[in-house]
Structure 1
Amino acid sequence: MTDESPAWPLWATEHEAAANAAAQEYGTLALTAPCPSCGASVRPDQRYCENCGADVHPEVGPVARAGVTTEETVKFNRPKASTPPCVECGGEVDADGYCQTCGAKAPSARDHFEAVPASWLAGVCDRGLVHNRNEDAMALWAASEPDRAAVLVICDGVSSSQDSDVAALAAAERARDVLAERRANSSDDRGSNSSNPDDGRWSSSSKPLADADEPDPLSTALIEATAEAQQAVIEHTAPDSPNAASCTLAAAVVEDGLVHWASLGDSRIYFLADDAHVQLSTDHSVAEELIRGGASRVEAENSLQAHAITRWLGRDADNIVPDTGVFAAPSDGWLLLCTDGLWNYASEPTALAEQLQAASAESDEPVKIARQLVRWANSQGGKDNITVALARLAANLNRTPQAPSDDLNEPAAGASASSTSVEEKD
């Protein structure tokens, strides 16, 4: 070992500042040192030498991931829950970060995380195979059983913008918190003033859609949550950033089979069942503009600017009002929110429904189905980050389904006018 080589352990206090200073974009560390056993190069974030397997820090316990670039990244990229199973084989991942079954190294907590707030609700967010970091984000919430109420929010960071991974997660969490708090406040207000059996639900959920003459309170709440998400993105964007962080947003509030949704950008919301395949949201994208102009879906989604979006969240956004809608499940089925890392490979609702059916062949647990969909997207190339959020819905026979048209396989109606601004997403 030369005098210039850092002393062991690599993450010793005197080297911590140097390691952080050497962190490159996407968390790649430039600082390395030779293994004390075999001399192979070892990074500071590695517990064992990849060449000989030697423990390079025998006197130090498990180490937190190094290489974060900002305080905001430390806060929002923290692990959300216990270590998930191996994404390669489903085996148990040991404390050293390696699968005990197949030996694969587990991704970081930000590269792959899962959420299971209820037995009927779950989501998986994954880096994919090509991108160097996970710029997708997901935030879920569910009411305590036996209430069947939930909030699902996903965001897709724009790859060409700075700190979009941090901003997207901040936006998703802020929107979820706003909507969950709205539900809690509604529960408190109704619970103290009424004996109605619908107490504790969002105020609009007990009103038949056909009689809804006034603006839907939850649509208003979704618009407000989107505005709060916009503020979160701005708060996590450096004031002097020449390319401000930006992201899409798709959100849904569920109550007993009734879905209130909001969409901004090209992350999508679907209802998929045996007898109905519905795309509830309509993309704000150049591809969608081409489809409206007469191009086929295949032609538009394979054009040069297919993933250029016309609305987004971010400091440079000129229209952050999302499309909103209400949908009553006509039969038992699945609410699916996903980023284009999934629908790139199955854009048509029918095609996506086929993949959902295949993913649920071995289990009806939402988290296992979501994992299978992520694995399938990765098997197709994994060219983008992938987020899948699933909620199992029961048929809401007391409502009037808001079908977009006579053909349930077509995207929902009510798309907004085109925007003159365009941002290239990938």
Structure 2
Amino acid sequence: MSDLGLRRRRNEDAFAIAALPRGACAVVCDGVATAPGSEEASRRAADAAVAVLTGRVSVGMDPQGATRAAVERAAEVVEGLAGEPRRSPACTFVSAIVDPAGVTVGWVGDSRAYWLGEAGSCLLTRDDSWAESMIEQGAMSADDAWADKRAHAITAWLGADSGPVEPHVAAFRPTGPGLVLLCSDGLWNGLPEAADLAAVALGGDGPMGAARRLLRAALDAGGRDNVTVAVIPCSPPGRERGR
């Protein structure tokens, strides 16, 4: 689900989601508001990436290889939208493949992936942001870095002005049932902690119900940005409900 939010004039987020032979995949992209044309960049990047994910996984490519290929294609599509020097559309990217082996995520920028599980929840990505860079370098404490006005400035994105794109790819192996959540920062800015997101999302009425509640929570928190959530249920082999 994707929503304009309460303070923006247009929705520059986009998502795409598709079934796989033995699972599902999804992509969420968040257009960079200061870059003209980013609404189109997000939409085209998400669509192109999901097409690559479904195609590559369907012919047997491993999820990590498929994820890297999807990011590469999305980056090419966004770069191709650049016009004159001052018009370089840009967006962030996060993807997930959920299959019997577990969860594979890929990202560039600060759109996030979370695992929301009945036995515990966690953040699966690490933002490409000024704050995270300061924390990683040991230059600032987490509290100080996130309190700084530069905290949310992204340090990596898809776009003609991004330089070489180096996606992060990670695998996660759940030990119990839960939900994989992909979201733009319109959600996690108000609810950054995985446990808080899980408290909202896990309700037993499926991924669409979870998505609706998460969207409502973001709007109730102020809705200052576009909000996009993609939710995929996941049960490890032998742990499917009813078995």
Give the TM-score normalised by the residue count of structure 2: 0.91
Q: Which residue of structure 2 lines up, in the alignment, with residue 97 of structure 1?
A: none
Match of 2:218 among 377, 381, 396: 377
Matched residues in 1 for 2:139 and 2:86: separation?
36
The aligned runs of 1:377-416 (5 Å cut-off) are 377-396=218-237
Q: 2:93 aligned with 1:249, yes or no? A: yes
The aligned runs of 1:82-93 (5 Å cut-off) are none
Q: Which residue of structure 1 lines up, in the alignment, with residue 162 of structure 2?
A: 317
Does the CA-based 8 Å contact 1:156-1:248 persist in structure 2?
A: yes
Matched residues in 1 for 2:56 and 2:69: separation?
10
Q: Which amino acid aligns with 2:218?
A: A
Matched residues in 1 for 2:25 and 2:141: separation?
33
Does the CA-based 8 Å contact 2:35-2:90 persist in structure 1?
A: yes
Does the CA-based 8 Å contact 2:187-2:215 persist in structure 1?
A: yes
Q: Residues 257, 299 of structure 1: CA spacing in aligned structure 2 closer, same or farther, 3 A cutoff?
A: farther
**CA-CA distance at 1:296 after TM superposition:** 4.5
Match of 2:105 among 255, 261, 279: 261
**CA-CA distance at 1:171 after TM superposition:** 0.3
Matched residues in 1 for 2:22 and 2:59: separation?
17
Matched residues in 2 for 1:136 and 1:228: separation?
18
Q: Which residue of structure 1 lines up, in the alignment, with residue 135 of structure 2?
A: 291
Q: 2:79 aligned with 1:179, yes or no? A: no
What 5-or-longer segments of structure 2 have no aligned partner? none
Does the CA-based 8 Å contact 1:330-1:396 persist in structure 2?
A: no
Which digits, 9 at most, give the CA deviation of each residue in 1:259-296, with x for residues without a partner? 11111100111111122212111111001123322645
Match of 2:38 among 156, 164, 175: 164
Aligned length: 238
Q: Which residue of structure 2 lines up, in the alignment, with residue 128 of structure 1?
A: 5
Which digits, 9 at most, give the CA deviation of each residue in 1:315-345, with x for residues without a partner? 0011311110111111111111111100101
**CA-CA distance at 1:241 after TM superposition:** 4.5
Q: Which residue of structure 2 lines up, in the alignment, with residue 141 of structure 1?
A: 18
Give the TM-score normalised by the residue count of structure 1: 0.53
Q: Which amino acid aligns with 2:76?
A: Q
The aligned runs of 1:196-235 (5 Å cut-off) are 217-235=62-80
Q: Which amino acid aligns with 2:181?
A: L
Matched residues in 2 for 1:263 and 1:135: separation?
18
Which digits, 9 at most, give the CA deviation of each residue in 1:340-368, with x for residues without a partner? 100101112222222324xx2xx512112
Matched residues in 2 for 1:270 and 1:185: separation?
27
Match of 2:28 among 154, 163, 176: 154
Give the structure with higher Rg (CA): 1
Q: Which amino acid aligns with 1:140?
A: I
Matched residues in 1 for 2:192 and 2:109: separation?
15
Does the CA-based 8 Å contact 2:57-2:66 persist in structure 1?
A: no
**CA-CA distance at 1:138 after TM superposition:** 0.2
What 5-or-longer segments of structure 1 have no aligned partner? 1-123, 187-202, 204-216, 399-426
The aligned runs of 1:54-73 (5 Å cut-off) are none
Does the CA-based 8 Å contact 1:170-1:236 persist in structure 2?
A: no
Matched residues in 2 for 1:307 and 1:243: separation?
22
Does the CA-based 8 Å contact 2:200-2:213 persist in structure 1?
A: no
Superposition RMSD in Å: 1.9
Matched residues in 1 for 2:7 and 2:85: separation?
25
Matched residues in 2 for 1:355 and 1:299: separation?
28
Q: Which residue of structure 2 lines up, in the alignment, with residue 198 of structure 1?
A: none
Matched residues in 2 for 1:393 and 1:310: separation?
31
**CA-CA distance at 1:297 after TM superposition:** 3.9
Q: Which amino acid aligns with 1:372?
A: R
Matched residues in 2 for 1:257 and 1:364: separation?
24
**CA-CA distance at 1:131 after TM superposition:** 1.1
Which digits, 9 at most, give the CA deviation of each residue in 1:9-48, with x for residues without a partner? xxxxxxxxxxxxxxxxxxxxxxxxxxxxxxxxxxxxxxxx
Q: Which amino acid aligns with 1:163?
A: G
Q: Which residue of structure 1 lines up, in the alignment, with residue 206 of structure 2?
A: 365
